[in-house]
């Protein structure tokens, strides 16, 4: 069963917006229903299917104006889809140029970022443990994610994001509600800057 997050709580509701929301629902329903049909424990096949369905959603964004009200509202985060059976969540994020999200993992979850507008610079990191027990991060690489492109991070992956051309509009798909999962002790690690080095908190 599909659950699209209600939009009524947002202030930009109007007849035009309602019509546009119908279009939104259509594109989102297609994404959510197709992904729910392909859903299962984390596997190469599930991730491939999710990326394929996300590509379809991104292509719909190219041709339709329904994201206009979302952009105009300017909310940093808007929940679009929450699947009541499988628990996956899709959010839209609007980020001003320069916004930086420091290195973090996603606990036990896998996630998918898709850029609709703007450019997001995403870096990945590996954990290194020093002889004194200090855990610090080593940056592996940096990728510029452009509109229509997707990045997937699996459980244990560590990454950061910086909006380098914005404002940017991104879709963030998560295997579960990350905030709830974090609160229920499936901890998400957010690294901290210590003299220019990212270390475990
Ligand atoms: Fe992330």
Residue 129 CA to ligand 1 center (angstroms) comes to 22
Residue 103 CA to ligand 1 center (angstroms) comes to 8
Residue 15 CA to ligand 1 center (angstroms) comes to 35
Residue 191 CA to ligand 1 center (angstroms) comes to 12
What share of the chain in percent tops pLDDT 70?
A: 85
Residue 166 CA to ligand 1 center (angstroms) comes to 18
What is the Cα 15 distance to its own chain's centre?
A: 29
118 touches 144 (CB < 8 A): no
Return the minimum-mean-pLDDT range out of 7-11, 36-40, 42-46, 79-83. Answer: 7-11
pLDDT at 196: 95
pLDDT at 61: 84
Phi, psi for residue 87 in degrees, rounded to 5: 90, 0
Per-residue pLDDT for 100 more than 70? yes
Residues 6+ apart with CB under 8 A from 195: none
The model's pTM: 0.86
pLDDT at 186: 76
Residue 124 CA to ligand 1 center (angstroms) comes to 10
pLDDT at 4: 62
Residue 85 CA to ligand 1 center (angstroms) comes to 23
Beta bridge partners of 170: 93, 115
Residue 105 CA to ligand 1 center (angstroms) comes to 6
**CA count, 13 A, side-chain hemisphere, 163:** 19
Distance, CA of 120 to CA of 113 (rounded, Å):
10
Domain spans, the chain: 15-199
pLDDT, one tens digit per residue, over 122-161 is 999 999 999 999 999 999 999 999 999 999 999 999 999 9
183 burial type by CB count under 10 A (0-12 exposed, 13-18 middle, 19+ buried): exposed
pLDDT, one tens digit per residue, over 8-32 is 333 334 444 555 555 555 788 889 9
In CATH, the number for domain 15-199 is 2.60.120.10
pLDDT at 133: 93
Residue 189 CA to ligand 1 center (angstroms) comes to 10
Residue 9 CA to ligand 1 center (angstroms) comes to 26
- Average predicted confidence (pLDDT) for the chain: 88
pLDDT at 66: 61
Residue 132 CA to ligand 1 center (angstroms) comes to 28
Distance, CA of 149 to CA of 174 (rounded, Å):
16
């Amino acid at each position: 069963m599909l659950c699209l997050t209600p939009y009524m709580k947002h202030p930009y509701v109007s007849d035009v917006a309602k019509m546009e929301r119908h279009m939104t629902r259509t594109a989102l329903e297609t994404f959510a229903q197709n992904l729910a049909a392909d859903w299962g424990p984390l596997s190469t096949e599930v991730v491939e299917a999710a990326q394929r369905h996300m590509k379809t959603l991104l292509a719909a964004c190219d041709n339709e104006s329904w994201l206009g009200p979302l952009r105009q509202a300017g909310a940093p985060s808007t929940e679009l889809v929450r699947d009541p059976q499988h628990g996956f969540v899709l959010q839209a994020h609007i980020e001003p140029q320069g916004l930086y999200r420091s290195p973090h993992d996603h606990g036990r979850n896998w996630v998918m970022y898709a850029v609709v507008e703007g450019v997001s610079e995403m870096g990945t990191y590996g954990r290194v443990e020093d002889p004194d027990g200090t855990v610090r991060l080593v940056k592996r690489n940096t990728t510029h994610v452009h509109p229509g492109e997707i990045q997937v991070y699996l459980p244990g992956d560590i990454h950061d994001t910086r909006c380098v051309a914005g404002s940017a509009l991104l879709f963030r798909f998560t295997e579960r509600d990350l905030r709830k999962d974090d609160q229920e002790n499936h901890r998400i690690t957010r690294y901290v800057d210590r003299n220019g080095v990212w270390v475990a908190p």
